[in-house]
């Protein structure tokens, strides 16, 4: 069996081809029986795939789950309890990051949380895998890079197929100069999405911490379209 180290753990993929490399060369070397302890933040949609794949990996142990939807949190924690496996649960990511027994986190929250969660995790000494998009703009993205470098963390962005070997070969071929100087690059994406309409403002359900869900987003009243829309393949209730 392959020896799991902080550098090679989670190489492989989460469902749909997410390449993970959360291992940090700056952390202490671990013994063969010393599991790498992972927390998954945002577990309603894409985060469920993270949980499924982490549970298959030898030497990796899910020790914490985080979501602002308490119903989702209870549902995801139940399979662990059924098998007598301890897993801590958190509604507030800030409380999770205070746990020094967590080595790395994977982030599959609603999109507007990705950058802040990444930066906070780096500050807390955690390595990070963060789903796409890692940021809403260049400024946020650069702050994630700066945090990773300042706190000596490894942060991997989930670009799925863009991390695959065949794409890497094509990029290397273009960069080699064998095709001449690249002057124009065009990208094509055909993924139409229609309006989800609008539902009236209401009081947030008791099981949802809407204030934390908003997080760094502008304050606004709750309406169901806000937290049930989709983005980056994930349900917006995922934090």
Task: Give 84-103 pLDDT, tens digit per residue.
Answer: 999 999 999 999 999 999 99
Annotate 70-84 with DSSP letters as a single string. Answer: HHHHHHHHHHHHHTT
- Is residue 173 in some structural domain? no
Specify whether the backbone of 189 is left (phi greater than 0), alpha (psi in -120 to 50) or beta: beta
Q: Could you read off the pLDDT of 177-198 as tens digits, one per residue?
A: 888 888 888 888 777 778 878 8
Specify the pLDDT at position 194.
81
Specify the pLDDT at position 159.
79
Per-residue b or e along 201-231, where b marks 16 or more CB atoms closer than 10 Å to that residue's CB: eeebeeebbbebbbeeeeeeebebebbeeeb
Domain count, the chain: 1
Closest CA to 42 of 200, 158, 189, 204: 158
Range(s) of the domain holding residue 11: 1-164+186-239
Q: What's the pTM value of the predicted model, to 2 decimals? A: 0.76
Specify the pLDDT at position 33.
53
- Is residue 62 in some structural domain? yes
Note the residue count of the chain: 239
Annotate 127-172 with DSSP letters as a single string. Answer: EEEEESPS-SSHHHHHHHHHHHHHTT--EEEE-GGGGSHHHHHHHH
What is the SS3 assignment for 219? coil
CA angle 131, 135, 139 (to 5 degrees): 155
Report which DSSP code applies to 113.
G
CATH for 29: 3.40.50.720
Specify the pLDDT at position 12.
43
What is the SS3 assignment for 60? strand
- Is residue 174 in some structural domain? no
Whole-angstrom distance between the N-terminal and C-terminal Cα of the chain?
Answer: 35
- Is residue 154 in some structural domain? yes
39 φ/ψ angles, rounded to the nearest 5 degrees: -115, 140
Residue numbers of the chain with a pLDDT score lower than 70: 1-33, 163, 228-239
Q: Could you read off the pLDDT of 60-78 as tens digits, one per residue?
A: 999 999 999 999 999 999 9
- Is residue 100 in some structural domain? yes
Can you tell me the distance from the alpha carbon of 2 to that of 60, in angstroms, rounded to the nearest whole number?
13
Specify the pLDDT at position 7.
43
């Amino acid at each position: 069996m392959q020896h799991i180290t902080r550098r090679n753990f989670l190489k492989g993929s989460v469902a749909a081809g997410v390449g993970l490399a959360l291992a940090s060369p700056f952390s202490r070397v671990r013994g063969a029986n010393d599991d790498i302890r992972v927390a998954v933040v945002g577990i309603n949609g894409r985060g469920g795939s993270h949980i499924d794949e982490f549970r298959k990996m030898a030497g990796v142990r899910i020790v914490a789950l985080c979501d602002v939807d308490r119903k989702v949190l209870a549902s995801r924690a139940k399979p662990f309890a059924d098998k007598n496996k301890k897993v801590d649960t958190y509604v507030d990511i800030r409380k999770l990051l205070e746990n020094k027994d967590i080595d790395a986190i994977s982030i599959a929250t609603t999109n507007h949380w990705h950058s802040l969660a990444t930066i906070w995790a780096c500050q807390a000494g955690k390595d990070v895998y963060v789903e796409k998009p890692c940021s809403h703009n260049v400024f946020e993205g650069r702050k994630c890079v700066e945090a990773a470098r300042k706190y000596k963390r490894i942060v991997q962005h989930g670009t799925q197929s863009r991390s695959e070997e065949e794409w890497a070969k094509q990029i290397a071929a273009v960069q080699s100069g064998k095709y001449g100087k690249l002057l124009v690059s065009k990208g094509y994406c055909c993924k139409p999405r229609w309006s989800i309409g609008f539902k009236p403002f209401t009081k947030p359900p008791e099981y949802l911490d809407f204030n934390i869900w908003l997080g760094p987003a502008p304050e606004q009243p709750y309406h169901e379209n806000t937290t049930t829309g989709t983005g980056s393949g994930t349900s917006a209730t995922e934090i």
